[in-house]
Amino acid sequence: MKIKRKFLAIITLLALVQTFSFSAANKEDAATDTKEITVITHRTDLVDNLFQEYVKEFNKKYPDIKVNFEAITDYEGEIKIRMNTEQYGDVLSIPKENFPVSDYPDFFIPLGSKTEMEAKYEFISDTEYNGNIYGISTVGNAQGVLYNKEVFKKAGITKMPSTPDEFLNALATIKEKTDAIPFYTNYAAGWTLGGQWEAQAPNLAGDPKWSNYTVPHEDTPWAEGKPYYVMAKLLWDMVSMDLIEDDPTTTDWEACKGMIAKGEIATMLLGSWSIIQMQQAAETLGIDPGVIGYMPFPYTNKDGNMYANVGSDYQLGINIHSKAKNSARLWVDWFTNESGFAQHESGIPALKGSKYPSALIAFQDLGVKFFQNEPSPADEVGLLDEIDAEAEVGRWSENYRMRIVEAAIGNRNETFQDIMTDLNTKWTKARKTLGVK
């Protein structure tokens, strides 16, 4: 009996300790703005080199602000755990997955009104809620296909493929005439079959309203002829026609960079951010970085045009609990307007009127039309992600595309049509559960 009582006492004590420390933490207030900020980033590869140079530049202008970095490897997972408390730095990349804009006001300070920010920056509608903007884009990416120019020349391909069939033909020619792997899936890395593919889908629709106005209101986005279907079919065909690497399960993301530079890989489907990395790999190997080419997704719309969707990478936001909001704002503005980060990433800067990077100027020369997605109507903010989560499809995750690869190899007892039907069924059901018109 005694022990039991003691046990209860311990639990009570524990609860007391906790309430006490809770209230203690709350008592600290943000009366004075400190001059030291912590920036949380997912770029573990840049915190110790490029970002340190940025800090030096920044300190020339604002000598008394100290900037610290915390880099997170599993960004989406960890930052969300931390955001359940107040401990998520001063400046941070706003997580993207399953985090609707409607929740932004609980976590970030508004950076300005829509009208005022719109005049100055690209991609701001992504973080707009009730007329306020909560984040500024670090860099915008265009979506297309990486290729090795030498391999294409060797295979005798002179015209850029502009339909999935032309693309498959080109890959078949490459397989026949060269030793290169026609298309490298990067299956093992996982993420390479996730967002990299999903972000291309609007290219096929060629419609700024497709993502947020069409998809949430249709029952079968994977029906024949629709953008998701066409992309999935291309992936299926490449795998079943043996136009990919011999063993997708042992692909190596690090090695693929050198392989495409050397012409061992002909094509890969990745956003424009990847161009610089392939070029750097080429330089390391003593190869002219000019062999790396970037072409639009091979699909010609009904109007006869090819499109390239341009979307924002992570946006920077400021923690609503920050004790250094002013200093944090100075960093965000400096990073956006003066750091030159977007150029470094061969992407599109958020600051309006900046120059496009050279790889994308080549896109423009081909007559490719760039466009940005229109944000959801105010009463449907977050709806698309909600349906996606309910359906457990995971448009931005790699799961269903990995499943296509596995089935096309013959590792699953399902046909291409089975998978499409299953995705459509899940989508229809989720829309019904949520009562979406």
Partner 1 sequence: MKIHSRILSFLKYLSVITGSLIATVPILVVFIASFKSDSEFLDTNALKLPENFLNFKNYITAFIDGRMMIGFINTTLILVISLTGAILIGTMVAYVISRFDFKFKKVILAAFLLATLIPGVTTQVATFQIVESLGLFNTRLAAIILYLGTDIIAIYIFIQFMEGISISLDEAAMLEGASYIRIYGTIILPLVKPAIVTVMIIKGISIYNDFYIPFLYMPKKSLQVVSTSLFKFIGPYGSNWEIISAAIIIAIIPTLIIFLFLQKYIYNGFTAGSVK
Partner 2 sequence: MKNLNYSAQRRILIICFLFVPIVLLCTFSFLPLGNMIYYSTLKWNGLSKHKVFIGFANYARLFSDSEYFSVFKVSLYYLAGSVIQLALALFFATILSFKIRGKNLFKGILFFPYLLNGVAIAFIFLFYFKGNGTLDSFLKFFGLEGLIQYWLKDVRWVNISMVFTSIWRYMGFNFIVFLGAIQSIDSQIFEAADIDGANKWHKFIYIILPSIKNILELNLILSVSGAISAFEIPYVMMGGSNGTRTFVIQTVQTAFVNGKLGLASAMAVVLLVIVLFVTIIQKIYFKHNGGNEL
| DSSP letter assigned to residue 182 | E
Torsion of CA 110, 112, 118, 119, to 10 degrees: -160
Q: Which amino acid is at 381?
A: V
Q: Closest approach of Cβ 392 to partner 2, in Å?
A: 5
What order do you get walking across the sheet with 132-133 strand by strand?
112-113, 132-133, 128-129
What is the 3 state secondary structure string of 185-225?
CCHHHCHHHCHHHHCCHHHHHCCCCHHHHHHHHCCCCCCCC
- Say how many residues touch partner 1, by CB under 8 A: 43
Smallest distance, partner 2 to C-beta of residue 193, A: 9
C-beta of 104: minimal distance to partner 1 in Å?
A: 20
Of the residues 12, 52, 87, 169, which one makes contact with partner 1 according to CB under 8 A? 87
CB atoms within 10 A of CB 400: 22
Closest separation between CB of residue 87 and partner 1, Å? 5
The distance of closest approach from Cβ of residue 190 to partner 1 in the complex, given in angstroms and rounded to an integer, is: 12
Helix 275-284 to helix 253-261 angle, to the nearest 10 degrees?
Answer: 70
Read off the tokens for 139: 């860099």
Which position among 64, 254, 303, 379 is part of the footprint of partner 1 (CB under 8 A)?
254
Partner from partner 1, partner 2, none binding residue 411, C-beta < 5-8 Å depending on class? partner 2
CA distance 393 to 395: 6
Q: Segment contacting partner 1 (CB under 8 A): 44-52, 156-164, 238-246, 288-296?
A: 44-52
Structure tokens at 330: 């100075």
69 binds partner 1 (CB under 8 A): yes
**138 to each of 111, 123, 174, 357, 370, how far by Cα in Å?**
14, 10, 37, 15, 19
Token digits for 430?
Answer: 């989720």
d(CA 413, CA 194): 23
> Which one of the spans 85-93, 121-129, 132-140, 362-370 is the region binding partner 1 (CB under 8 A)?
85-93
**DSSP H helical segments within 267-382, as ranges?**
275-284, 325-337, 341-344, 358-365
10 counts as binding partner 1 under rule CB under 8 A: no
Nearer to partner 2, 63 or 410 (CB): 410
Taking the least distance from each CB to partner 1, the nearer of 82 and 120 is: 82
Cα(192)–Cα(189) distance, integer angstroms = 6
Q: Which does 29 bind (CB under 5 to 8 A by kind): partner 2, partner 1, none?
A: none
Of the residues 50, 62, 82, 223, which one makes contact with partner 1 according to CB under 8 A = 82
If the CB atoms of residues 189 and 223 are measured against partner 1, the closer one turns out to be: 189
Distance of CA 171 to the CA centre of its chain: 27
| Residue with the two structure tokens 């030159």 | 340
Q: Determine if 277 is a binding residue for partner 1 (CB under 8 A).
A: yes
Contacts (CB under 8 A) with partner 1, residues 234-253: 253
Q: In the chain, how long is the greatest CA-to-CA distance?
A: 88
Establish if 9 lies at the interface with partner 1 (CB under 8 A). Answer: no
Q: Could you tell me which stretch among 50-58, 134-142, 209-217, 277-285 binds partner 1 (CB under 8 A)?
A: 277-285
Site residues, partner 1 (CB under 8 A): 3-4, 7, 17-18, 21-22, 24-25, 40, 42-46, 48, 68-75, 78, 81-82, 84-87, 253-255, 257-258, 273-274, 277, 281, 284-286
